[in-house]
Structure 1
Amino acid sequence: MTSDQLAARIDHTLLKQDCTHEQIQTLCAEAREHGFASVCVPPYFVPVAAEALLGSSVAVCTVIGFPLGYSTTAIKVAEATEALAMGAIELDMVMNVAALKSGAEAAVQHDIRALAELCHGHQAILKVIIETAVLSDEEIRRACDLCATAGADFVKTSTGFASRGASVEDVRLMRDQLPSNIRIKAAGGIRTHAQAVALVLAGADRLGASAGVALLTPPQDDDSAHETSAY
Structure 2
Amino acid sequence: MDSSKLTKESLAKLFDHTFLKAYATSDDLKSLCEQAKTMNTAMVAINTAWTAFCKKELEGTDVHVGAAIGFPLGQCGLETKLFECNYAIEQGADEIDYVIDVGQAKMHNWAYIREEMEKMTAICKEKNILIKVIFENCYLEKEEIQKLSEIAKEVKPDFIKTSTGFGTGGATVEDVKLMKDTVQDAVQVKAAGGIRDWKTCKAMIDAGATRIGTSSSIQILKEFEEATK
Q: Please state which band the TM-score falls in when normalised by the shorter chain.
A: over 0.9
2:144 match:
139
2:160–2:187 contact (8 Å) kept in structure 1: yes
The alpha-carbon distance between structure 1 residues 219 and 81, as it changes in their structure 2 partners (threshold 3 A), is closer
Paired with 1:195 and 1:173, the residues of 2 have a C-alpha distance of 17
SS in 1 for 2:105: helix
| Structure 1 residue 219, shift from structure 2 partner | 6.1
2:29–2:54 contact (8 Å) kept in structure 1: yes
| Structure 1 residue 181, shift from structure 2 partner | 2.6
Query: Out of 188, 197, 202, which is 2:202 matched to?
Result: 197
2:138–2:163 contact (8 Å) kept in structure 1: yes
1:26 aligns with 2:31: yes
Q: Which runs of 5+ in 2 are unaligned?
A: 1-5
Query: Out of 5, 9, 17, which is 2:14 matched to?
Result: 9
2:44 match:
39
Query: Out of 54, 57, 74, which is 2:59 matched to?
Result: 54
Superposition TM-score, scaled by structure 1 size: 0.93
Superposition TM-score, scaled by structure 2 size: 0.94
| Structure 1 residue 3, shift from structure 2 partner | 1.4
| Structure 1 residue 19, shift from structure 2 partner | 1.0
Amino acid at match of 2:102: V
1:111 match:
116
SS in 2 for 1:62: strand
Query: Out of 57, 65, 72, which is 2:70 matched to?
Result: 65
Amino acid at match of 1:88: A
| Structure 1 residue 57, shift from structure 2 partner | 0.6
2:89 match:
84
Q: Which runs of 4+ in 1 moved over 3 A?
A: 219-222
Paired with 2:179 and 2:113, the residues of 1 have a C-alpha distance of 18
| Structure 1 residue 145, shift from structure 2 partner | 1.1
1:67–1:159 contact (8 Å) kept in structure 2: yes
Identity percentage over the alignment?
Answer: 34
2:134–2:164 contact (8 Å) kept in structure 1: yes
2:190–2:211 contact (8 Å) kept in structure 1: yes
* Aligned pairs, number: 223
| Structure 1 residue 220, shift from structure 2 partner | 9.2
